[in-house]
Structures are given as structure tokens and as C-alpha cells.
Amino acid sequence: MGVLARVAVAATLLTPVLANAQSIEVEVRNSASADDDYFCWTPVEARVRALNSMQPMQVTIAADAQAGGGGLVFQGLGATRPTAATFQPVQTLSLTLPQDSSWVPFWVAGSAASVGAKDVSIVVTDEANAAPPASLPVMVRVRKDARTLTQPEIDTFLSALRTLHDVDGGAVASRFVKYASAHAQAFNIGIHHATDPGFWPLFLAWHRAFLLSLERELQAIDKRVALPYWRFDQPDPGGIGGAPRIFNRNFMGSISGGALQAGGFRVTFAPTNPLFGWNVPGLGALVRTADATGGTMPANRLQTILDLVENTTGPDQGAYKLLNGRVELRYHNGAHGAVGGWLGQGYSPADPLFFLLHANTDRAWAVWQHANPDRFVSTLPKSYHAQGAYPGPAQPGRFRMGSYLDDVMWPWSGLQGDQGTPDRLDDWPSLPEPFPATLVDGVTPSPKSTVDYLDVLGAGTALDACYDDLAYPH
């Protein structure tokens, strides 16, 4: 409910004179809760209505933005969800609100990223000035280049990580540790080795869902959090005097001055850093072998991969099947190896840097999709080569169950152990702690659900995660 609208309602109860005052209500995601007023580039449903109006009210919808903060755009279209083909955003939207207090739908999307808070508002103004304007603060929450985060944004992210780390995880040491545990167990059931000769399909899709699961948990702690990404193909200066921005004791830590320990050098954090003393039972204190401040590969590596995937001859030209393996081997592996320590092991998500590394890996997939919009269409083999559902044991050379487009992936499927069939490829690792069954409301973690992450096809399955430099295509 809008702030001013709430004031109007409260005033109705207290001041008879204002009992019939005209007012405007505006909501995002068709809910009065302020907790869901966070979105990114994908248009989300919103609605507005006039209360106590004796006649239809003509209103203007626009953003009240601060310089350098979030920005918004709007679209009418009624209840029809926009797609990349139909999205035609405007800065200012005019609508007519009926006098019967019924809601009028519209669509709102971010056009510029917020800076760590609800710093932009949807403002609805009665063109006749009979009703006070309604204003609803929102946050355009997107994943940003970690080098560009403000210190408050860094602190918000790190505090949420620490909170998650400190929450009892039941069968595992903490809610955070369950991610390292699940990754280690899933390591060899198809989520890696995406390159030749197997072309196992899950690498990008599985890790996209994995990132989203963690991001949702962090957002349950603090709604303002979006995962930053580490451009491991670029240097990390950016700080005062060109000091590292990411490999810094106030952010992701540094091995500078860190003692030698099992697996590498202890990562040191400033005492005020929420990650100070980062420790995982069974592993001890966080270690790495290097601060990768100079980047871990040539800056043009990603573009080289994208070009080659598009230009390769044959039926796999421009296909996810190639991209998936090339990104793993030629882009992501080198970053894991360059940092080393925990990040060079199967339990690598125990190092929070894993999620920044993989956000950038996931961004690589997104960059490719944005350059080739048909790759958002999951049912095209170019977008995901293991089409359909698990074919069963009669199919030679098949991938493991959970790898196919329509399968639910492990661990979100909740399956574990021997499924009681002679088929070895429908068996699963143990799952000490469950993962949520959905990535967002109604979206089950299948490879299919990860492909159109922005919902450019308008199916209502946006994953509510965007990158700062990859706008909603239209």
C-alpha cells in the first residue's frame, strides 16, 4: 500500500471530515506488502485504483528518482504480461481509474539500478489534483559488478552472508554450509565436465539455480541483497589509490599477511568485516592461494568464446551444448584455479567468493542469450540440448535423470539414495538438508526454468535476478 494511501486510510478512521476524501492506492505484485516491492529489469505486475472518486480519475504514473539511484519505466497492456516482443516502456503512463474503486493493472520495470535501498518511487498523480498523489517506494535490485558496489551495499551483502553462516543448519553445520555440502555431493553427477566428450548439459543450468537458491536465502535475511559478480577476466583495482576492491580486507578478504594453513594462506578480514573469522567446521579458517587482483585470463576471453560458439561449423553452431563446456573449461575453471584454496576444491562454495565467481559465470551465459535472443527459448535445442524428460534406462548414452529440460534437478527434487530401480542413473546422493522446492513462487528448479531467466517470453516465470549491464531485451 502506498505511503500516502495508507495515510489517507488512517485519516478516514480519525477525521470524519476526510471520510470521503479521494485517494489513490498503488501496489506492486498485487499485494499491499512492502516486502515484495523489489524487482529488476523484467516487467512486474502493478495495479492502481482510485478510492472515493465520484467519477473516473485520470492519473499519470511516473518515477520519483534520485540522481544516481534507481529508475523505472512503465507500460499499460492491461493484464497481459509483456514479452520482449511487446515491451514498449514509457517514462510516464496515463491511465483512467474507474470510480468503482476497482484496480487497474499496469506494468513496471527497472531502468536503472538502485543503490542498496528503495531509492525510487512509483508516483501516481491525479491529473485533476482532486486526490493527493500516491507514492510507493521500490528497489530496482540487480546483480552488480562487485568492483562498483558502494561500501553500504558491500556491508549489506556481507552481513546477510554472516547471518546465514551463523544460522543452525540442522544436519549440517549451518544454513550456508549446506551449499558447500550439496555442491560437493553433486560434483560428479553431471554438474561439471560439460565439455567434450560428454557435453553434460547441467553446468550452467544447475549453477544458475544454485545461485538463486542462495540469493533467495540472503534476501530472506535482507531484501536489499543481490549477488555481486566478480569479473575475473578483468583486473581488480577500483579502490582508493588503485587498491584492490574485491580482494580487500573490507570485502572478500585478502591473503596478504595471512598465515600458511592447510590448503593455502589464511584469508584475512578487517575486524569490522562481517566475514571476519570466516570458518567452516571440518575445514577451519578460510584459505586461498592467491589474491587474483590482476584478473585470471585475457580480458577478451569471453568474447572469444562467444564468437567461436557462434561461428563454429556444423549442427552445434551457436548451441548451448558448446557454450556450456567452453564457459566451464575456458572461463570458469581458470578462476577457480587461480584463487585456489577452498575455491579449488569440490566444497568450493564454502568460500563466499564462489558465489561471485559463479555469478560472473552465469552472466557469461546471460551475455550470450542477450546477444542471441532465441536462446531464451528453452525448447530449442540450441538453448538446451538435453530436450524433453529423462528417457529411461533403455536409452544408451543418456545423461543422468535431472539433466533433461523438463526434469527437476537435484537437490531441489528432494530425491536421495537408490530409487529402487536397476537404473543407476536415477539414484542420488544423500541430502542432509532439504533445498526449497521453488526458485520463486511457482517455479520449480528444472533446466527449463533456468533458461528464460528474465521471462522474455512472458510465461510469468522470471527468476527475479538481473545483471546491471544486461537490460530486458525489447
Partner 1 sequence: MTRTGLVRTGLAGAILLLLGGSALAQVFVEPFVPPAGSDSATYYADNAARIDELAGQVRSGSPESRRTAFDELATAFPDAALSLALDLINDPDMAVPAARLLADSVVMTNHQVDHDTMPEIGHLIMARIEAAKVALLTLLDRPDDTLRRIAAGTLASLGDRRALDALDRKAKEGEVSDVEAINYFALATPEVGSSYISPYLKQGEGAAQESAVAYLSALPAYQGQIRDEILLNNEAKEAVRIAAAQSLGQYDRNFGDYAVTMAIDGTNLPPSLYTAVVSAYTKTAIEQKTLDPATVDRLIDSIERVQKEAPGFQIQLDELGNRLQNLKVQ
Q: Show the CA angle centred on residue 360, arms to residues 166 and 388, nearest 5°.
A: 95
> Cβ closer to partner 1: 170 or 198?
198
> Cβ closer to partner 1: 175 or 336?
336
299 is a site residue for partner 1 (CB under 8 A): no
* Residue 306 bridge partners (DSSP): none
For partner 1, which stretch binds (CB under 8 A), given 20-28, 239-247, 248-256, 325-333? 325-333
> Cβ closer to partner 1: 58 or 261?
261
11 in helix, strand or coil? helix
> Cβ closer to partner 1: 129 or 313?
313
360 in helix, strand or coil? helix
Give min distance, CB of 282 to partner 1, in A: 11
Give the integer Cα–Cα distance in Å for 65 and 11. 27
> Cβ closer to partner 1: 47 or 330?
330
445 is a site residue for partner 1 (CB under 8 A): no
Q: Show the CA angle centred on residue 234, arms to residues 228 and 240, nearest 5°.
A: 75
Q: Which of 29, 193, 216, 474 binds partner 1 (CB under 8 A)?
A: 193
Burial of 175 (0-12, 13-18, 19+ CB in 10 A): buried
Q: Which of 349, 322, 400 is nearest to 211 (CA)?
A: 349
For partner 1, which stretch binds (CB under 8 A), given 129-137, 173-181, 330-338, 413-421? 330-338
372 is a site residue for partner 1 (CB under 8 A): no
H or E segment at 122?
A: strand 120-126
For partner 1, which stretch binds (CB under 8 A), given 9-17, 85-93, 116-124, 182-190? 182-190
- Strand order across the beta sheet in which 287-288 lies: 260-261, 264-266, 287-288
> Cβ closer to partner 1: 64 or 427?
427
Maximum CA extent, the chain? 78
Q: Which of 192, 207, 245, 249 binds partner 1 (CB under 8 A)?
A: 192
Give min distance, CB of 360 to partner 1, in A: 16
> Cβ closer to partner 1: 12 or 333?
333
Instruction: Fill in the per-residue mask, 220 to 259: x = in contact with partner 1 (CB under 8 A), - = not in contact.
Output: ---------------------------------------x
Pairing of the two strands 134-140 and 38-39: parallel
Sign of the C-alpha dihedral, residues 435, 438, 440, 446? positive
For partner 1, which stretch binds (CB under 8 A), given 72-80, 142-150, 185-193, 233-241? 185-193
What does residue 468 show for φ and ψ, rounded to 5 degrees? -60, -30
Chain positions 332 to 351 lying near partner 1, rule: CB under 8 A, are 333-334, 336-337, 340-341, 344-346, 348
Give the integer Cα–Cα distance in Å for 153 and 410. 32
Q: Which of 298, 388, 391, 392 binds partner 1 (CB under 8 A)?
A: 298
Tell me if 48 sits within 8 A of 134, measured CB to CB. Answer: yes
Grid cell digits, residue 441? 513462487
Q: What is the dihedral of CA 318, 320, 321, 327, to 10 degrees?
A: 100
For partner 1, which stretch binds (CB under 8 A), given 152-160, 318-326, 355-363, 375-383? 318-326
Q: Which of 39, 157, 199, 203 binds partner 1 (CB under 8 A)?
A: 199
For partner 1, which stretch binds (CB under 8 A), given 16-24, 186-194, 407-415, 457-465? 186-194
> Cβ closer to partner 1: 260 or 459?
260
Per the document, the length of the chain is 474
459 is a site residue for partner 1 (CB under 8 A): no
Give the integer Cα–Cα distance in Å for 275 and 342. 15
Q: Which of 330, 381, 432, 438 binds partner 1 (CB under 8 A)?
A: 330
172 in helix, strand or coil? strand
Q: Total residues contacting partner 1 (rule CB under 8 A)?
A: 55
Grid cell digits, residue 228? 555481486
Chain positions 380 to 409 lying near partner 1, rule: CB under 8 A, are 396-397, 399-400
Residue 410 neighbours by CB distance under 10 Å: 26
Given the rule CB under 8 A, which residues bind partner 1?
A: 184, 187-190, 192-193, 195-200, 259-264, 284, 289, 298, 301, 304-305, 308-309, 312-316, 321-322, 325-326, 329-330, 333-334, 336-337, 340-341, 344-346, 348, 396-397, 399-400, 424-425, 427
